[in-house]
Amino acid sequence: MDSAQQNRIKIIGALVCLAALVIAARLYYVQVIEHDAYAATAERQYAGQDLSLFDRGTIYFSPQNGAPIPAATLASGYAIAIQPKSIIHPEDIINALSGLLPISEDALQTAVASGSPYSVVAHHVDEATAERVTKLDIAGLGDYKEQWRYYPAGQLASNVVGFVGYGSDGVTLSGQYGLEKYYNDVLSRSDSGGTSNVFAQIFSDLSDSALSGGGDQGDIITTIEPTVQEQLEQELATVMSTYQSTLAGGIIMDPTNGDIYAMGVNPTFDPNNYSKQKDVSVFSDPLVSGVYEMGSIVKPLVMAAALDTGIITPDTTYDDTGTVVVDGSKISNYDFRARGVVNMQQVLDQSLNVGMTFVAKTIGSDNVSKYIRAYGLGDQTGIDLPDEVSGQIGNLNSPRLLEHATAAFGQGIAMSPIETIRALSALANGGYLPHPHVVKEIDYDSGQVKDISYGPGPQVIKPSTSQTITNMLIGVVDTALLNGTVKLSHYTIASKTGTAQIADPVHGGYYSDRYLHSFFGYFPAYKPRFIIFLYTVWPKGVEFASHTLTMPFIDLTKFLINYYNIPPDR
């Protein structure tokens, strides 16, 4: 045998060994990794029904300590079905099931008399009940294994998670809101039906699965910390019950990398019982799909812009007259009172609209517009949630100073809460825009893991400006916010409140007695771990955000300091 023949034999032998390894790997995948799915399918086939088991990837929360826990998973049980044409004694089925299943006797009679070849009379039945049905041994009555979407935490973070429901065709189950919708392609599972066998699966999609690493289906791991989420939702519920607000919402985020630890609204819903919800508007997430005039929390953004230009410093002063006329319209402080000669720190401490009008006039309308746009207001953030909207900043296209002055104190422009917290993060993190997100990892069925992280976004203000505005916002907390009574002795906190009149869509202008309250803060201020944004719409019996949202913010701050064991910074 010459050397060429020997080489051919070696090559053929190597190819045979490689093929055997691929087949063995595929066998392991089908028989071990996919064992549960095939076992469930076999059980369904044994039941004698040509129905596919629902399957879908899992959504996980990320506790501070410990393994991820399911936020959306699968539950298993049984469906009870009848074959009306096979029923010999209808009264036997009606009498047996009317007290055993959650279905009325009238509904059973209708199903039995329908004449249809097959009818499901109960879903989500537990195993013990299914066994009792089987033991009845009545012709035309049977059960089969089924799976459905289940949300172990109930309404916790439901607006973030979303739910699975029937699409517009009324037949296909898919994600309808939240992560279920945004990541539907990843979470969905193709229907293999009941015709495939193990050997068909070994060789099916071999090039895609065994050689290229698999498809794009998998589970997702979120940044949501369930204990933090629960704490946020408790605070929002308290705001709603105390002030009978129309809505309350909040976000807790790392301002340096955009990781969202908690994100909630009230009222909300239970995704396990979404079909019972009468007001379907609660399914949408106003934190990404709603826009609001935020009021005075915009002041630090424009003040930072003024500092960044170098035209204004914290020590710059002006004569506050309480009211000024701009382009024929009056702009007044919230109490119409003059302060005399004050500096920029007092503009933030006392939340002076006349002061921000001075700032806008001093740096010019072009700078106001340039920086507001640079903060990303008016744009989508790209958060990994569906139906995000862009803020409304069309007033900045006006050549008049008036629209830029009102924008400087947060009226006349509207933005989503997620836009707002991203912009405010630039004040905390050295001047750049982070990328807000709620998913940090995708674990594909192929075994591949995709870590999701984002680098810093565009630089909006200089790091030195971020430091200066942080100093000023610490001053707001230490001396002005509720007269300095909420200052923490060992931690620096930077924050600002906002109170904005709500626009009247019918008559134009603004309601005289309806307000949106907002609040943001970050801590430890010089090296922030968290930024918190809170807002509530039309709280009753109280005018200013300092009274509605200060204590929820402080309570959340103290909780996070203790929960994450954050060391003191002063």
Q: Which domains does the chain have, with CATH numbers?
A: 226-563 (3.40.710.10)
What was the pLDDT predicted at 507? 87
How far apart, in whole angstroms, are the C-alpha atoms of residue 319 and residue 321?
6
Whole-angstrom Cα distance, residue 86 to residue 45?
20
pLDDT in tens, the chain (570 residues): 566 666 666 666 666 667 667 666 666 555 555 555 554 444 433 344 445 688 999 999 999 998 999 999 999 999 988 888 788 878 878 888 887 888 888 888 888 787 777 788 888 898 998 888 888 888 888 888 999 999 999 999 999 999 999 887 777 889 999 999 999 999 998 654 333 333 333 334 443 333 333 458 999 999 999 999 999 999 999 999 999 999 999 999 999 999 999 999 999 999 999 989 999 999 999 999 999 999 999 999 999 999 999 999 999 999 999 999 999 999 999 999 999 999 999 999 999 999 999 999 999 999 999 999 999 999 999 999 999 999 999 999 999 999 999 999 999 999 999 999 999 999 999 999 999 999 999 999 999 999 998 999 999 999 999 999 999 999 999 999 999 999 999 999 999 999 999 999 888 889 989 999 999 999 999 999 999 999 999 999 998 999 999 999 999 999 999 999 999 999
Asked if omega into 505 is within 30° of 0 (cis), the reply is no
pLDDT of residue 89: 79
Residue 490 and residue 482: Cα distance in Å, rounded?
18
Residues forming beta bridges with residue 144, ordered by sequence position: 79
Q: HSE (CB half, 13 Å, CA atoms) of 275?
A: 3
Reported in sequence order, the residue ranges of 246-383 that DSSP labels E, i.e. its strands, are 247-253, 260-266, 317-320, 323-326, 329-332, 340-343
Tokens of 273: 């019982």
What gap in Å lies between CA 169 and CA 165, rounded to an integer? 11
3-class DSSP assignment, residue 264: strand
Written as six digits, the tokens of 565 are 């064991």
> How high is the pLDDT of residue 560?
98
What's the CA angle centered on 275, arms 273 and 278, to 5 degrees?
105
Q: C-alpha dihedral over 272, 275, 278, 283, to 10 degrees?
A: 60
- From CA 547, how far away is CA 556, in angstroms rounded? 16
CA distance 326 to 528: 38
Contacts of 130 by beta carbon, 8 Å cutoff, 6+ apart: 77, 78, 80, 143
The C-alpha atoms of residue 272 and residue 180 are separated, in whole angstroms, by 13
Angstrom distance (rounded) from CA 82 to CA 109: 11
60 φ, ψ (degrees, to nearest 5): -115, 145
Task: State the DSSP H helix or E strand holding residue 6, giving kind and residue range, or none if neither.
Answer: helix 3-28
pLDDT given at position 261: 98
Q: What contacts 176, CB < 8 A, 6 or more positions away?
A: 162, 163, 164, 165, 167, 283
**Phi, psi (deg, nearest 5) at residue 496:** -160, 145
The pLDDT score that the predictor gives to residue 32 is: 55
> Are 422 and 376 contacting, i.e. CB atoms less than 8 angstroms apart?
yes
* pLDDT value of position 9: 65
Instruction: Identify the helix (H) or strand (E) that includes residue 78.
Output: strand 69-82
Residue 526 half-sphere exposure toward CB, CA atoms < 13 A: 9
